[in-house]
């Protein structure tokens, strides 16, 4: 059991060493996971945490009812976070570029691919950029794709990732920026 636990932590650590969602210094930090249950399939390279999952690595904090991490033959990890029924999965992480810049996200399901550095948020998705506790930008929709490497967002009104007429609207709030030199 101890071997499986150490392998599980190593898997999760490899997943988050790819710079998930921002702060580069987090890659050198240990990963800590708390959950009610864990299973690991060495043959399929699938690690599953269930029940009030709390994952921390440096400034990264992820919370979900269930987290499934798979590793491909090249060593890249793919994680899926699931909110409990009627709830959302969440993450919060410090962003590079300033002393108190943060990114927060929530959705019923969040997928993150370390190879592409793309996070996909499905159903009741919300993503916020924060400067301290002040929200600087906020997007809401049924689907958000966020490339953490280029900080590119795509937001649509359906969880399929395609915009669907009559399926509601997305919402974006962009706060005014102070222009340097004024």
What pLDDT does residue 12 have? 41
What's the confidence (pLDDT) of residue 173?
A: 86
- Whole-angstrom distance, CA of residue 114 vs CA of residue 71: 10
Asked if residue 89 lies in contact with residue 109, where contact means CB atoms within 8 angstroms, the answer is yes
Question: For residue range 87-126, what is the model confidence (pLDDT) as tens digits?
Answer: 999 988 888 877 888 989 999 999 988 788 788 999 999 9
Domain ranges of the chain: 2-174
C-alpha 150/C-alpha 170 separation (Å) is 21
The label of the residue with tokens 């930090």 reads: 29
pLDDT, averaged across the chain? 82
Which of 14-23, 117-126, 143-152 has the highest average model confidence (pLDDT)?
117-126
- Domain 2-174 sits in CATH at 2.60.450.10
**pLDDT at position 81 over 90:** yes
> Stretch 2-10: mean pLDDT, rounded?
40
State both tokens at 38: 């864990």
Task: List, for residues 28-57, the tens digit of each pLDDT value.
Answer: 677 788 999 999 999 999 999 999 999 887
Gyration radius of the chain over CA positions:
17
Q: CA dist 137 to 101, 104, 149, 173, Å?
A: 12, 11, 18, 6
Mean pLDDT of 162-172: 85
Largest separation between any pair of C-alpha atoms in the chain: 61
């Amino acid at each position: 059991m101890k071997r499986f636990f150490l392998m599980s932590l190593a898997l999760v650590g490899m997943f988050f060493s790819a710079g998930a969602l921002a702060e580069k210094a987090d890659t050198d930090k240990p990963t800590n996971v708390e959950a009610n249950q864990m299973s690991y399939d060495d043959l399929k390279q699938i690690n599953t945490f269930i029940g009030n999952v709390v994952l921390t690595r440096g400034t990264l904090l992820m919370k979900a009812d269930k987290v499934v991490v798979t590793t491909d033959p090249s060593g890249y990890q793919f994680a899926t976070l699931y909110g409990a029924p009627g709830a959302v999965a969440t993450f919060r992480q410090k962003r590079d570029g300033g002393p108190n810049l943060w990114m927060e996200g929530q959705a019923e399901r969040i997928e993150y691919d370390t190879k592409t550095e793309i996070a996909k948020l499905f159903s009741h998705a919300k993503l916020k950029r924060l400067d301290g506790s002040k929200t600087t930008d906020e997007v809401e929709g049924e689907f958000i794709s966020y490339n953490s490497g280029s900080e590119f967002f795509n937001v649509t009104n359906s969880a399929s990732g395609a915009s669907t007429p009559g399926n509601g609207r997305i919402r974006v709030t962009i706060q005014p920026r102070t222009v340097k030199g004024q």
